[in-house]
Amino acid sequence: MLSAERNERITRTGPGTPAGVLMRQYWQPAALSEELAGNRPVVPVRLLGEDLVLFRDEEGRCGLVSRRCCHRGADLAYGRLEDGGLRCPFHGWLFDVNGACLEQPAEPAGSNFKNKVRQPAYPCVERNGVIFAYMGPGEPPPLPIADCFAAPDAYTFAFKGYLDCNWLQSLEVGIDPAHASFLHRFFEDETPDKGYGQQFRDATAGIPQTKVLREYDCPRLEIEETGYGLRIFALRDLGDEEMHIRVTNLLFPNCAVIPMSSDMNIAQWHVPIDDESNYWYAMFTAFSETVDKETMRAQRIAACTLPDYKPIRNKANNYGFDADEQRTATYTGMGQDINIHDQWAVESQGTIQDRTIEHLGSTDKAITAYRKQLMAAIKAVEAGAAAPLTGNGEEPRAIDTIGKPGDWTHDWRAHEDARRAGSAWAAGDR
């Protein structure tokens, strides 16, 4: 458990808060590229407690600026996209993607006032369907080394979803491998071809993942600290000299990199909208086959509303809970979508989890290790140090595989290397 003071310190991310200052020193997802589709690519964004506007100019560049015009505070979400930037309808001030004021039409001819003002703006980069923003001081760092950034677009798919709670409890479910044996338990197994694009629907060495999770519900966890955060091993002894090895990662500060299937991984960021809500941004990456984006998007669009990406099943309708289903088909009784299972788990903890009353066990060791890293990083940045755990050349790798109990530390890496060697794009060192 944590003290109330420490819980506040690691959950609050608004401007000037200890965790907020830290989080701003890493690239954070701000929107999906698809949100800027259409004939007016302008969208309001709330990120880390700040109200912003994201737009794409005529050259295809993305700009993320403060929502309130620096002139008189009018709402730039209603701005006109023209002449190389976003123009405020109030007095015609025009701002480019960097926040520079290009025009002030009502000022006298020859005035240089436009050179003395600047709209607050944050740098953006766009990768494989996600627009990232850097909200910290100084020059932005490079994006972390990760498959979702290295893969060609055809091998990736990006989506997001809304969660009505603090970002930290959402992230912590992603680094808790033990919960999958219960929260995501299915009483019947499907063939992998019926579960394309869905986690825990694949087979590992011919054994359905749902069967492994259901029948071996007490994994041994091992944690390894890395230059990017944590590598987390969930080990299930299947007998007959077989060990199920599931390797997940914490890409510091707020991304989990997890195996989805034998050919696909997910990098999933949990990004604060404010202290009481967050979006998960998932970047799916396949290795040997291009991604069927239409199928994956159709699955996810069917479960949410647009433009807010809020799930149709939610606390207002009890997440679709069905008592008969809970007895016969799923452990939760909340349908087949594991995103809904996770949503219930993290939202039911309250908008900001009270960690003063929790009691962590042995299967929570990754959560304990991560909180220590988070608190140490906050303290270091407060003392003036550079943002820590930025990778140092290490790369999070995730896989779900079978090895030998005595050789599992070698086997998972060998199997991952073999997958990359047979990949359409990932072979070779980066």
Report helix, strand and coil shares of the chain as percent, to nearest 5: 30, 30, 40
Go through the chain and tell me how many residues it has.
430
Q: How far apart are CA 151 and CA 143, in angstroms?
A: 14
Residue type, 135: M
Walk me through the domains of the chain, giving residue ranges and CATH numbers. Answer: 27-133 (2.102.10.10), 147-421 (3.90.380)
Query: Structure tokens of 273?
Result: 């909208």
Let me know: does 92 contact 114? Beta carbons within 8 Å.
Answer: no
Average pLDDT over residues 91-115: 96
Averaged pLDDT of the chain:
96
Residue whose structure tokens are 């299937």? 261
Confidence of residue 430 (pLDDT cuts 50, 70, 90): low
> What residues contact 426, with CB distance under 8 A and at least 6 apart?
147, 150, 151, 287, 419, 420
Q: Which residues of 34-55 are buried (b: 16+ CB within 10 A; e: fewer)?
A: ebbeeeebbbebebbbbebbbb
Residue whose structure tokens are 């907020």? 20
Average pLDDT over residues 50-63: 97
Query: Which pLDDT belongs to residue 240?
Result: 92
SS3 state of residue 112 = coil
* pLDDT reading at 428 higher than 80: no
- Condensed to tens digits (0 to 9), the pLDDT of residues 192-207 reads 778 888 888 888 888 9
Average pLDDT over residues 243-252: 98
* pLDDT reading at 129 higher than 60: yes
Confidence of residue 429 (pLDDT cuts 50, 70, 90): low
Closest CA to 120 of 183, 63, 38: 63
Average pLDDT over residues 56-64: 97
- Condensed to tens digits (0 to 9), the pLDDT of residues 65-97 reads 999 999 999 999 999 999 999 999 999 999 999
Query: Which pLDDT belongs to residue 65?
Result: 98
Let me know: does 52 contact 61? Beta carbons within 8 Å.
Answer: no
SS3 state of residue 181 = helix
